[in-house]
């Protein structure tokens, strides 16, 4: 991709409304644009990152038998009345009427819709278990939409739903998903704390939140510095400094965090209300046991910036970077850009995704943009580099001069 054609250009000044690092940097670097509070466009760079995040999630969910589909975002009031959530969840739902006075809501989650699908299409125990997911926009009437793209009123979520013949089978699969989530967040580059939270009205079971430690995070969690114990502040009865209630050896640490995922072992709460049954081996009607799971892909985009940046800009982890390398031509007017062009096409042929700064700008401006955008490898070609390429990692200060083959080896290593 030629940077001269990339939409839009970077900005020196962050928007006045931006109160968080991710908002400032993502807007300045040209990844997102705010239409209004809590509502963002994913610009080409931002869309590339979210696509990578989603593909990584997709791989791990497919590996545990998830089937991808796509559900509608416009829901009739009747489906929400079946669970009672039209009234109970009124605060977060965008509800409205059509021309005929009929009432609808914009999707804020999909449990009811999935339950309706199961009710229509699952007949017997032979049709279970089932695991389906989608990626879609969610709408929530958030009271305080802040923290940039981390808390939107319209945002992208991956939500997975699983249905089972029994609580036991559900819990069995549920913990498989918990492991898959840990893998997803590790692959994304996060250090994750899994914290228990209350199941609320839905279930006796605890739910699990996947929390990224972050100074500016809106959540407060408690976790053990030695084992995997963790709870959110709503259910933890002790205080920081206590000895760990699980391993007894560690100390309880209190920290700010960003919730990037949440899993809910719901049981038969929905089946009981929406009359979702299957026939068991003896033909007896039994309620379907259910669980739901969600990851906020656009919140992940914001959280990645919160945990990986410096005063110059974003520092992408390679697996989610919008491009593999940032090639910068600093040969200026004094020399033609033949050499940079040649390296660009060789990298392209070798399957490396390149952002190529072919613009007629000063070295200072180009390098500042590279730091702001944050691609993990910066490749400079100039009069000084001869037939070599100056390579610098975004998170290190040293540069090294490499031949093309050495560079390729480093990128594939
Ligand atoms: P929060 O407590 O942060 O408001 P939640 O617990 O209400 O979130 P869930 O219903 O658990 O959210 O949604 C699953 C996931 O969707 C969350 O873990 C988060 O990653 C993402 N998410 C939820 N609300 C938002 C939002 N307003 N903007 C962006 N992502 C969100
Ligand atoms: Mg949650």
Report which protein residue has its CA nearest ligand 1's atom 16.
296
**Ligand 1: lining residues by beta carbon, under 6 Å:** 140, 142, 151-152, 155, 157, 259-262, 294-296, 298-299
Ion ligand 2 nearby residues (CB, 5 A): 262
153 CA to middle of ligand 1, Å? Answer: 10
Nearest to 163 by CA among 287, 71, 325: 287
User: Does residue 334 register a pLDDT over 60?
Assistant: no
pLDDT digits (tens, 9 = 90+) for 34-92: 999 999 999 999 999 999 999 999 999 999 999 999 999 999 999 999 999 999 999 99
Question: Which ligand has its closest atom nearest to the C-alpha of 258?
Answer: 1
157 CA to middle of ligand 1, Å? Answer: 8
Report which protein residue has its CA nearest ligand 1's atom 12.
262
Q: With cut-offs at 50, 70 and 90, classify the pLDDT of residue 335.
A: low
pLDDT digits (tens, 9 = 90+) for 224-274: 999 999 999 999 999 999 999 999 999 999 999 999 999 999 999 999 999
Q: With cut-offs at 50, 70 and 90, classify the pLDDT of residue 162.
A: very high
Q: How far apart are CA 359 and CA 280, in angstroms?
A: 67
Residue among 259, 263, 264 to mutate when testing ligand 1 (max atoms within 8 A of CB)? 259
Q: Which residues pair with 162 in a beta bridge?
A: 131, 291
Measured CA to CA in angstroms, residue 197 lies from 59, 205, 289, 337 at distances of: 27, 9, 20, 57
Say if residue 8 is preceded by a cis peptide, omega within 30 of 0: yes
138 and 108 Cβ atoms separated by less than 8 Å: yes
pTM value surpassing 0.95: yes
Percentage of the chain lying above the pLDDT 90 cut: 94
Report which protein residue has its CA nearest ligand 1's atom 26.
151
Nearest to 258 by CA among 226, 215, 224: 215
Report which protein residue has its CA nearest ligand 1's atom 31.
296
13 CA to middle of ligand 2, Å? Answer: 33
Ligand 1 atom with the shortest distance to the CA of 260: 20
Q: With cut-offs at 50, 70 and 90, classify the pLDDT of residue 203.
A: confident
Q: Is 373 exposed, middle or buried (0-12, 13-18, 19+ CB in 10 A)?
A: buried
Report which protein residue has its CA nearest ligand 1's atom 22.
296
Ligand 1 atom with the shortest distance to the CA of 151: 28
Cα separation of the two ends of the chain? 23
Q: How far apart are CA 136 and CA 72, in angstroms?
A: 9
> Quick one: pLDDT at residue 208?
98
Q: How far apart are CA 353 and CA 345, in angstroms?
A: 11
Q: How many residues are recorded in the chain?
A: 413
Measured CA to CA in angstroms, residue 251 lies from 223, 245, 258 at distances of: 8, 9, 21
Question: Which ligand has its closest atom nearest to the C-alpha of 257?
Answer: 1
Q: Is 143 exposed, middle or buried (0-12, 13-18, 19+ CB in 10 A)?
A: exposed
pLDDT digits (tens, 9 = 90+) for 110-132: 999 999 999 999 999 999 999 99
Residue among 42, 144, 210, 299 to mutate when testing ligand 1 (max atoms within 8 A of CB)? 299
Ligand 1 atom with the shortest distance to the CA of 145: 27
User: Does residue 5 register a pLDDT over 90?
Assistant: yes
Q: Which residues pair with 39 in a beta bridge?
A: 36
Residue among 38, 235, 294 to mutate when testing ligand 1 (max atoms within 8 A of CB)? 294
Residue among 157, 195, 209, 217 to mutate when testing ligand 1 (max atoms within 8 A of CB)? 157
């Amino acid at each position: 991709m030629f940077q001269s054609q990339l939409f839009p250009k970077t900005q020196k000044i962050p928007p006045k409304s931006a109160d968080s690092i991710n908002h400032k940097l993502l807007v300045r670097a040209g990844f997102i644009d705010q239409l209004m509070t809590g509502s963002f466009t994913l610009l080409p760079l931002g869309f590339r990152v979210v696509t990578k995040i989603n593909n990584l999630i997709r791989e791990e969910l497919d590996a545990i038998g998830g089937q991808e589909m796509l559900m509608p975002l416009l829901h009739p009031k009747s489906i929400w009345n079946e669970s009672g959530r039209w009234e109970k969840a009124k605060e977060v739902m965008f509800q409205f009427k059509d021309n005929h006075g009929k009432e609808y809501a914009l999707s804020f989650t999909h449990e009811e819709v999935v339950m309706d699908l199961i009710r229509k299409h699952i007949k017997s125990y032979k049709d279970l278990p089932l695991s389906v997911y989608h990626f879609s926009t969610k709408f929530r009437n958030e009271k305080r939409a802040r923290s940039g793209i981390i808390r939107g009123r319209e945002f992208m979520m991956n939500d997975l739903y699983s249905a089972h013949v029994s609580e036991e089978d559900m819990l069995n699969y549920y913990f498989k998903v918990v492991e898959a989530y840990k893998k997803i967040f590790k692959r994304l580059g996060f250090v994750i704390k899994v914290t228990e939270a209350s199941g609320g009205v839905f279930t006796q079971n605890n739910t699990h939140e996947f929390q990224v430690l972050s100074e500016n995070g809106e959540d407060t969690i408690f976790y053990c510095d030695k084992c995997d114990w963790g709870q959110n502040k709503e259910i933890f009865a002790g205080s920081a400094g206590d000895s760990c209630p699980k391993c007894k050896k560690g100390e309880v640490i209190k920290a700010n965090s960003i919730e990037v995922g949440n899993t809910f072992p719901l049981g038969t709460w929905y089946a009981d209300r929406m009359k979702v049954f299957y026939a068991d081996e003896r033909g007896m009607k039994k309620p379907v046991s259910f669980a739901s799971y969600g990851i906020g892909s656009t919140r992940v985009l914001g959280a990645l910036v919160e945990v990986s940046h410096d005063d110059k800009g974003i520092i992408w982890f390679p697996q989610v970077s919008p491009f593999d390398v940032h090639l910068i031509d600093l040969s200026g007017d004094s020399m033609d850009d033949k050499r940079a062009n040649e390296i660009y096409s060789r990298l392209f042929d070798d399957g490396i995704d390149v952002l190529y700064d072919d613009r007629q700008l000063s070295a200072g401006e180009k390098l500042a943009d590279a730091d702001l955008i944050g691609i993990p490898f910066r490749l400079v070609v100039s009069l000084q580099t001869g037939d070599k390429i100056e390579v610098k990692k975004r998170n290190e200060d040293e540069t090294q001069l490499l031949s093309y083959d050495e560079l390729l080896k480093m990128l594939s290593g």
